[in-house]
Amino acid sequence: MHTSRLRRSAGPAFAGAVVACASALLASLVSPAVAASTPAIPVAPPPTGSTIEQAGGSAQTLGHNVAGQLSGAGLGPSVYAGTGGGPARYVALGDSYAAVGRVAPGSWGAGPVACVRTDDAYPAVVARELGVGTFINASCGGATADDLWEPARHGAPPQLDALDAQTDLVTLTIGGNDVGFAAVIVACALRPNTAPELLPVVDSITSGLAEGFDATAGCSDVIDRQATRALEELDTRMDSVYAEIARRSPAARVVTVGYLSAVPDDQTLLSSPDCAPFIEISDAERDKVRGFQQGINRVVRDAALRNGATVVIPDEPGHSMCTSPDTRWVDFTGLQTASVPVHPTSAGHAHVAGRVVSALSG
């Protein structure tokens, strides 16, 4: 059932690189004793308050994460105890569009450092809203469909290992890295805005982000040829994903969550300084980028529906990375919302969580 390994694009693994240099310094912040009991589901990160206090809490959490990763004891999913009023055992699977929200003081959650799980990401919000009995967060930045079955590059165990017969709710967000999300951003936004003499440097730096894809071939080639082939492979692969979830957790309700809309219509894009990198490509290429993001959600939706999963596609217009920061659900640079580049903001995750909760009550 587990066929040859799909391309691995670590695009939304930007998050892991953000902390790589600083993480080793945080190990000294770990307290000597670690509580043996299962911690409670973290409260929502404060949007305001003492920066020093929030930073101290985040540093303490990161210190535990670093120590756990170095020892191997903290590579698995993050496990929390809830109030018990909702589903008994909720498992979140997926990539950074499930794992990563606001990378800022007060938001960092438990788990492997490279996974960058934050407490404002939609799985944590859903767990709090539903009052689940146990919340198991196996999502991880940079994950591909292969990481559901196989250990991730940084040692995190297969995400599907978090499932068992008692699991009664599963959320899943996967596919963006498999089909070259990062390669599209590099080919269609970054390289067109880079001076020719600097392209070798940029290509060297971004090669790991677009692994398995050739972003140097140009925006149209990445989308028309490379990503189209990858989308076909992902569509076939997803049937095996759902079959394995059903085998391990036959009583679970599965909610598949697609991707927030990142690139809007040209009228919005061309009037936004924050989306200036996309102005360098042609009108036709911008249409291809929009078609690409729609293609990911189409594959996600179709595979979920034919396998009996509940589907949430949170691609409503008006909240792309070209809108004002206070209405933005995805941010291109992350600088104005403290999010990871080309990733959901806290507001975006809150919207997705609301859609998931509504779907479960429907």
Which CATH number belongs to the domain containing residue 54 in this structure? 3.40.50.1110
Task: Tell me, yes or no, whether 8 lies in a domain.
Answer: no
Quote the domain boundaries for residue 291.
Answer: 15-361
Domain count, the chain: 1
pLDDT digits (tens, 9 = 90+) for 16-28: 443 343 333 333 3
pLDDT for residue 106: 61
Candidate list 96, 107, 249, 272, residue with the active-site label: 96
Confidence of residue 305 (pLDDT cuts 50, 70, 90): very high
Query: CA dihedral defined by 301, 312, 209, 186, rounded to 10 degrees?
Result: 80
The answer to whether 361 is a known catalytic residue is: no
Task: Tell me, yes or no, whether 5 lies in a domain.
Answer: no
Task: Tell me, yes or no, whether 83 lies in a domain.
Answer: yes
pLDDT digits (tens, 9 = 90+) for 198-241: 999 989 988 877 778 999 999 999 999 999 999 999 999 999 99
Query: Which residues are CB-neighbours of 34 under 8 A, at least 6 positions away?
Result: 64
- Helix axis angle for 228-248 and 283-306, nearest 10°, is 20
Percent of the chain with pLDDT over 90: 63
Cα(250)–Cα(126) distance, integer angstroms: 21
Candidate list 343, 346, 349, 351, residue with the active-site label: 343
CB count, 10 Å around CB of 228?
A: 14
Closest residue by Cα to residue 257 from 329, 184, 176: 176
pLDDT for residue 59: 53
The answer to whether 96 is a known catalytic residue is: yes
pLDDT digits (tens, 9 = 90+) for 77-120: 999 999 999 999 999 999 999 999 987 666 767 777 788 899 99
Query: Do 92 and 136 touch, CB atoms closer than 8 A?
Result: yes
